[in-house]
Amino acid sequence: AKEKGLNEYEVFKPSLEIQTLKEGIIEKELRNGMDLNEFILFYQPIINLYNRQIYGLEALLRWHYLKSVFVSPLEFIPIAEKCGLIVDLGKIVLKQSLESAKIFSNYFNRDFVISINISPRQFSDKEFISSIIQIVENEKIKNLKLQFEITEKVAIENINYAIEVINELKKYNITFALDDFGVDYSSLNYLRKLPIEAVKIDKSFVQEIENEETYFVVETIIKLCNKLGLKVVVEGVETENQYKILKELGCDYVQGYFISKPLNFEEIVKFIKENEFGK
């Protein structure tokens, strides 16, 4: 079946010209969508596995195109990244997250994390640090801990720059997590060097956690992170059995459909209220 899929892809693969044309059109639409406030955040809870308390919320962007259909970030982030619009889109994400966090903070009597995805181009942008500071500087939100998610690849490609950025933003109470851990480099040596707070184990591992080899790999990553004082979040937890296995493994935090899918603003407020105060 896999091979058939590959052939189909070959047949329908658009020519380079068509691909470029398509991206050009989407770029215009992206700009337009930014002006029309078509970008909105959903929030997916990250849960402390032991007491089921909310540890944090990952902000996940959706494009409410023409205010009628939701477009997945997997469709538009790569294009926004390619044409550079991701830099401005990233600012929209940060601002909107802070606006929401102000409301969320009314329902938390303890620290909570808002975790935001930072794309490679954003992270390496010359004005990244200053633009972030400009947005967060005058915002004092009770109990909020802001976290940025970057991939291993970004962190490792220019590790000295990454260390510098992470340390600089620490001064503003922003921490970093390594996203999609295990898919790219996974040079465990870097874990020691990067001044990060957390590691997010990619969902591809959880999907195979019932397999013995994968189990051992995840076990090792969790143990190592614990020893290094890093928090571990496992993403993509979909079943009760996966949840149980992770608990057994001493994993701290989980995220996934088993707990909740990403929720819109109203839904997440309801989720927080129910979780913090009971039904």
Q: Which residues bind ligand C2E (CB under 6 A)?
A: 44, 59-61, 72-74, 77, 93, 117, 119, 179-180, 203, 235-238, 256-257, 262
Q: Is 119 among the residues that bind Ca ion (CB under 5 A)?
A: no
CB of 170 to ligand C2E, least distance (A): 21
Q: Which stretch binds Ca ion (CB under 5 A): 34-42, 72-80, 87-95, 149-157?
A: 149-157
Residue 16 tokens, joined: 């380079």
Question: Residue 152 or 179: which CB sits closer to Ca ion?
Answer: 179
Q: Which residue is nearest to ligand C2E (CB)?
A: 256
CB of 226 to ligand C2E, least distance (A): 22
Q: Which stretch binds Ca ion (CB under 5 A): 23-31, 88-96, 143-151, 210-218?
A: 143-151
Q: Is 179 among the residues that bind Ca ion (CB under 5 A)?
A: yes
Could you tell me how many residues of this chain bind Ca ion (CB under 5 A)? 4
Q: Which stretch binds Ca ion (CB under 5 A): 5-13, 113-121, 137-145, 161-169?
A: 113-121
Q: Single out the residue of 57, 97, 149, 230 in contact with Ca ion (rule: CB under 5 A).
A: 149
Q: Single out the residue of 23, 81, 180, 208 in contact with Ca ion (rule: CB under 5 A).
A: 180
Question: Residue 104 or 181: which CB sits closer to Ca ion?
Answer: 181
Residue 13 burial by Cβ neighbours in a 10 Å radius (0-12, 13-18, 19+): exposed
Question: Residue 44 or 100: which CB sits closer to ligand C2E?
Answer: 44
Question: Residue 6 or 74: which CB sits closer to ligand C2E?
Answer: 74
Query: Which residues make up the interface to Ca ion (CB under 5 A)?
Result: 117, 149, 179-180
